[in-house]
Structure 1
Amino acid sequence: MKRRAFNRCILSALVGGAAALAAIPAAQAQNFPGRAIELVVPFAAGGGTDAMARAMSDASRTHLAQPIVVLNKPGAAGGIGLTEVANSSPDGYKLALVTADMVIIPHLGLTKTTYEKFTPIIQLNADPSAITVGADSPYNTIEEFLAAARAKPESMQVGNAGIGSIWHLAAAALEDKTGAKFNHIPFNGGNPAVLALLGGHIDAVAVSPAEVMQYVKAGKLKPLAVMADERVPGFENVPTLKERNINLSIGTWRGIAAPKGTPQPVLDTLGAAFRKAAAEGSLKRFMAEQNLGYVVADQQTFTALMQRDNATFKGLIDKFGMRP
């Protein structure tokens, strides 16, 4: 009898201890945030992703009890910064500004950190690829462009932001859908590719509308089609591929994610604050001024997008042998 009573005491103590430990994260979540939150941008300062992170930080000031501090952790095409956040304590105090690169670079062998090591909080942006040519190009429609590419396989020089970049994958996806064969010309970023097009060194680029917008408005470039479900603001006269019976929608995106295992109450607090921040006029103006596609999607929708693109990009990288 004494032994059974002793065992019951031990079991009661263990159960009570476990309940007390479980209550600690709940209490922490209830008081969240109690200190500044770090938002890691896995790219160098000064780019569009960095600028968007800082605009979001500013817009969040009145919606969170603590500030968001933006930290740049570039390297390995974003892999270094993403890995740091994925391996951090899942308490909501270190987040990542994620882009479509996070579902590309693991398949290129640049990192072992996959999107599955994160929980998405909110999507803030989406930009499709656009096929753009010089203003004096003989091609005025996407049909003419593709017909020329099919007539002389691999003679059409299409610039991108580097081997395995989202814009390389977009052009490869267009090949896959249409049977055209391009000569893919990699550059160190979308802007150098656009400058090469302006100089007449290549035939086209497959980059975002934002990266060619100023030159299109100046009459120096002309877009032939966008790879989106709907026409793009500022490119209202440019058809989508789907309007031309090519079932392809592909592009980049940006958003905020937390390490896997972050408590749901913390995610809920962050999600609510970020949705309010995304509705701020200052953030909307920033997105419009930067010609960035303004899209706000919740945790579930953003997760589904990551899953879809992860499968799509893996298939393209494997099929076209892009992995070094």
Structure 2
Amino acid sequence: MTRTTRLSLLAAVAAPALFAAPLAMAACDWKPERAVTYVVPWGAGGGTDANSRMLASMLEQAWGVPFNVVNRTGGNGVTGHSAIANAEPDGYTIGAVTVEINTMHHVGLTDMTFESVTPLALVDIVPSSVLVKKDSRFESLDALLAFAKANPGELTASGTSQGGIWHLALAGMLNAEGLAPDAIRWIPSQGAAPAMQELIAGGVDIATPALSEGKAMIESGELRALAYMHDQPMAALPDVPLTAKALPSGWTLAAYITASGPAGMSDEIACSYEAAIADIVATPEWAAFKASRGSEVVSMSRADLAAYMARSDEALGKVIEAVGLAK
């Protein structure tokens, strides 16, 4: 991967916490009159699920109607994202559109793109990590990469679907460091939570989820973090080595989570969600939740989020091509 490609990936995908300018005033007085379905394309227990359930609960409190979280897993993220994109744009089905909306079409899983949804709010930006179980023989990222170079294909890793963001985090890092992208074999999973359980059980050697997703298991001693794919330490785990400093390539990569609805959602409904979520994000309750996960509060206007997703799509497409997964 060229330096230009890597830097563009950093700019598009590994952005730090972002705060929006004040919302432009519109009527924005739509409110749901019945239950809303909040679709999560990934399994229960992961970071996307946790963020989505907290946001749905706070929207329920704000608007006084149920927000029913439904985990629609399968198809490497296609099932849940399709459930959001194909719903009626009436405000009664929204969900967690994740960075995989920028990867699935590049790897030939679907024709759906970021243009198939209406972005409403940025919920999280989460850099990847390199995790091993507590009794792993590897005590550093250098040792892990040296073994993978000398024994290509012997080690296995997991974290999400084939071609998903945590797979790209690993394959892109290997590629950037001059190893074959499959020097560590990828074992697909339905998300970070099952992948980390598989790691603890010894079914795989490595997991590469968001560091925030592994925080509790790291603190409990079940897992050990060899690296954080970022250029700034996580406040809750400040001693985890940064790939930006530890690796010659300076490789970093982060995912994002949004609240989004189907394409074609009216501006009135979309801006009502934008305003409601902006109010939630500004609360001490939301800040405390984010701090408990080792994450920062992030926010972005709908317009800026749409542009951010477009840049991410272009940058990740280049990574997917570089590691040989493009179809």
* TM-score normalised by L of structure 1: 0.77
1:14-25 to 2 correspondence within 5 Å? Answer: none
Instruction: Name the SS for the 1:60 alignment partner.
Output: helix
Note closer, same or farther for the CA distance 1:195–1:62 as it changes in structure 2 (3 Å cut). closer
Instruction: Name the SS for the 2:298 alignment partner.
Output: strand
Distance 1:277 1:50 in 2: 17
Note closer, same or farther for the CA distance 1:37–1:78 as it changes in structure 2 (3 Å cut). farther
Residues matched between the structures, number: 296
Note closer, same or farther for the CA distance 1:141–1:314 as it changes in structure 2 (3 Å cut). same
- CA shift for structure 1 position 323: 6.5
Distance 2:171 2:224 in 1: 21
Note closer, same or farther for the CA distance 1:47–1:136 as it changes in structure 2 (3 Å cut). closer
* TM-score normalised by L of structure 2: 0.76
Distance 2:53 2:205 in 1: 35
Retained in 1: the 8 A contact 2:157–2:207?
yes
Superimposed CA distance per residue, residues 18-52 of structure 1 (whole angstroms, 9 cap, x where no aligned partner): xxxxxxxxxxx665225236243143774443443
Q: Which structure has the larger Rg over C-alpha atoms?
A: 1
2:44 paired with 1:41: no
Retained in 1: the 8 A contact 2:32–2:91?
no
- CA shift for structure 1 position 103: 1.9
Q: Which runs of 5+ in 2 are unaligned?
A: 1-26
- CA shift for structure 1 position 170: 0.8
Instruction: Name the SS for the 2:226 alignment partner.
Output: strand
Match of 1:282 among 278, 281, 285: 285
Distance 2:88 2:188 in 1: 37
Retained in 2: the 8 A contact 1:98–1:254?
yes
Corresponding letter in the other structure for 1:183:
I
Partner of 2:18: none
Corresponding letter in the other structure for 1:261:
G
Instruction: Name the SS for the 1:207 alignment partner.
Output: coil
Note closer, same or farther for the CA distance 1:250–1:36 as it changes in structure 2 (3 Å cut). farther
Instruction: Name the SS for the 1:106 alignment partner.
Output: coil
Structure with higher helix content: 1
Partner of 1:301: 304
The structure 1 segments of at least 4 consecutive aligned residues displaced by more than 6 Å after TM superposition are none
Partner of 1:186: 187
Corresponding letter in the other structure for 2:102:
V
Partner of 2:210: 208
1:1-324 to 2 correspondence within 5 Å? Answer: 32-33=30-31, 35-36=33-34, 38-43=36-41, 46-48=44-46, 49-61=48-60, 63-64=62-63, 67=65, 69-72=67-70, 74=72, 75-181=74-180, 182-188=183-189, 189-200=191-202, 202-244=204-246, 245-291=248-294, 294-322=297-325
Distance 2:236 2:143 in 1: 23
Q: Which runs of 5+ in 1 are unaligned?
A: 1-28
Note closer, same or farther for the CA distance 1:265–1:187 as it changes in structure 2 (3 Å cut). closer
Retained in 2: the 8 A contact 1:73–1:80?
no
Larger RCO of the pair (alpha carbons < 8 Å, separation 6+): 2
Percent identity of equivalent pairs: 25
Partner of 1:23: none
- CA shift for structure 1 position 132: 1.9
Instruction: Name the SS for the 1:126 alignment partner.
Output: strand
- CA shift for structure 1 position 115: 0.9
